[in-house]
Structure 1
Amino acid sequence: MTTANDARAASDLLERQAELLVAVATGGSRMDSVKWEYRERRDDLEIALRKVGLSDPFPWEEPSRWYAYYSANGMGTYASRREYIAELAAPIRARLRELMLGIAVEDGGPEHLDWPLLETRLREAKDRFAKSSTLDDFQDVGRRCRELLIDLANLAFDATMLPVGAEEPKGSDAKAKLGYASDYLFAGRQHAELRAVAKTTWDLANKVVHGGIGDVDAFATIQATVALVRIFQRATQP
């Protein structure tokens, strides 16, 4: 269930990321000096927003992508760049404020997921890949696949799958959940390759998210994600 503290944590990350984007676009920070800070916070922000049923409003993998975007889209003034970042953040900021005030109590997070909803999101990811042509597009496909794998982990994993004495993974630790679910559902030496599929798919999605890839990598990621969803469906559903 979403809490005010969850929303507050996400809001803090959102504001810090927005401030960084404005800073690099208005001469306040050098892109090279903040790119790692931006990337790390981007991952944290994605997880925090997902926990409250929201998505990251900033589509750029790193500050240089933001620079390329505003340079190519006529944002020649500092004011126009500030306004654009504010516009992107505004609906997420408003929703988080509602959650912090307790006005909006419905949680769109993993607790409400089911297989039909996962199927819908899978179809949306496939459609997104079909329309992709740029590096940013391919990275977005990777992000969507990673989100799908997080959803899949929350659907497939159950605490009864844990080995004796093992600590239950945190809510956002999809890699661990997929690993435990794979170990439980595909136990034995004869299923070693099946168990490896989950780890490989997760690693591939993260590789695509972090760039330096092309359409073949994005294609492989969406295909691997589809395959992994189908494998877990077959293993967990009657």
Structure 2
Amino acid sequence: MQSHEFFIEDDTAPADGWGAARPTFDTDLMAQLARGPLPGDDDLATAISLARLTHQEYQAFGTNGSQQWTDEDSRIALRALRLVLDRHGIEFRPPWRDFESFRSHWIAVGASGTGGWQARRDILAEWFGPVLETLEEAEEKGFRAELAQPISPRTKTGWERVDDEIDQLRLRFRSAATTQDYKDVGNRCVGVLEALSATVYDPAKHCPEGMAEPPVDKTDIRIGGYLDERLPGKSNEELRGLTKKASALAHKVKHSPSADRTRAGIAADAVILLANMLRRLAE
């Protein structure tokens, strides 16, 4: 979840200085997050968003009074964040529980008066900085480890459309939790294949004379034509077979009434590795 999803738009709420209604902090959602991960949600990404928002709100309270939360909101959010972080093995026990107790803390440690706003920023950075760094490192490791990585030292294919589709596939797989989610992973796999089809196929080289150019979704034909041109003869039979099998598996997961994490992950691994194999052929 992103930070804005922690708020409820309410047209009846009091307006801000620009005449727009202030969104209401969703304390019911905080209670749900405190109890456990939400179905279909990326709990790690949500932890990062909540940690950033909490840091932001406490900093606003401690420096210029521009916070959106009430004191009660600050208590509920801090408790939810502590429990969400516990799920990820991160201990977070700041010496305050809400805005008012944060004020008492900064007064007690001499962070009031002249220069106090910077001292209060430093206090918050000391507590939230390591938490955010740990969460972001975990997220980066997740991106690298959830699905297959190429043996090539290159982290991207360099084909912008293909890389965008692969990034979206990785994100979708990380947050998938239900059959519908895993079917959508299959759909994202098909998206990678179609991006490859659009990238590697050149009608001037790969379309037989007298035939119409096949549409982008005919991935077997288009990628197969590319392979014929790059590796002519029998030597490309195995690669063509890999293309067809990766495509068949992606479509099977996309339409499966019982798609699960194992099959969706295998399909995703297959298309990611295929993308990197085709990129190697282009060099």
TM-score of the aligned structures, taking structure 1 as reference length:
0.48
Larger radius of gyration: 2
Q: Which has the higher contact order (CA 8 A, sep 6+)?
A: 1
Greater helix proportion: 1
TM-score (normalizing by structure 2):
0.41
